[in-house]
Structure 1
Amino acid sequence: MIGVPLPNPRDQLIDNLNQQLDAFFGAGNKIEQVAPGVSGEREAMFGTSHSNKLRAERDKLAPRLKELADNGLTVIEAAKEMGMETKRARLIARENSIKFPGPQ
């Protein structure tokens, strides 16, 4: 209508977000922390979309590699177990702070 001020879009977004938060927590839901690499998603970093895609694929392999490291396998043995090159296994370990026993 003419002469009626339009509502502020920012205030509408904030009100909507607050309603969604109230509904989420009102239903008894809780916030949960997802470990890095488990979901395959990671924080946005510099790089191309191709390198981001490759990193996401490596992040999906990280939990299995960590499991093998925790079981006492060396990086060479873990790479053989997973059917990948040792260089790739070392890269995944370095990116995800995975420590292997024995020579690196």
Structure 2
Amino acid sequence: MIGVPMANPRDTVIADLHRQMDAFFGAGNKAKQIAAGVSGEVGGPIKCARANKLRTERDKLAPDLKQLAESGTSINKAAAALGIDHKRARLIARENGFKFTDSP
């Protein structure tokens, strides 16, 4: 309305937050303490079609790479055998929980 002062947007947001907190705790719910570094997210903050596509491509290479790792092949030779970069091979190994003999 014309001539009526607008409420401060910050105060409006804070009042709404307090109302939601009162409703949450009033319903008997409790706040949970989450340890540092722990979250429900897996993989990283970016979730998009391209990232999913790249992950599926890496998942296709994982069985062959794991077989080479178990046979004692170095990470550089295994990456060359599959035609990928050694950094990508290291990422695949880390995502799938196996290690090469020469990797730390």
TM-score by length of 2: 0.54
Give 2:15's aligned residue. Answer: none
Larger Rg: 2
Residue 64 (str. 1) matches residue 64 (str. 2)? yes
**1:24-63 paired onto structure 2 within 5 Å:** 47-63=47-63
Give 2:86's aligned residue. Answer: 86
Structure 2, unaligned runs of 5 or more: 1-41
SS at match of 1:73: coil
Farther-moved stretch of structure 1 (94-103 vs 62-71): 94-103
Runs (4+) of structure 1 exceeding 2 A deviation are none
1:54-82 alpha-carbon deviations (Å, 9 max, x no partner): 10110010000000001100111100111
- Compute the RMSD of aligned alpha carbons: 1.8
| 2:93 alignment partner AA | A
TM-score by length of 1: 0.54
- 1:92: how far off? 0.6
Give 1:100's aligned residue. Answer: 100
Give 1:33's aligned residue. Answer: none
> For this pair of structures, how many residues does the alignment match?
61
Give 1:37's aligned residue. Answer: none
2-side partners of 1:53 and 1:82: how far apart? 19
What is the identity percentage for the equivalent residue pairs of Structure 1 and Structure 2? 51
1:4-36 alpha-carbon deviations (Å, 9 max, x no partner): xxxxxxxxxxxxxxxxxxxxxxxxxxxxxxxxx
| 1:91 alignment partner AA | L
- 1:103: how far off? 3.5
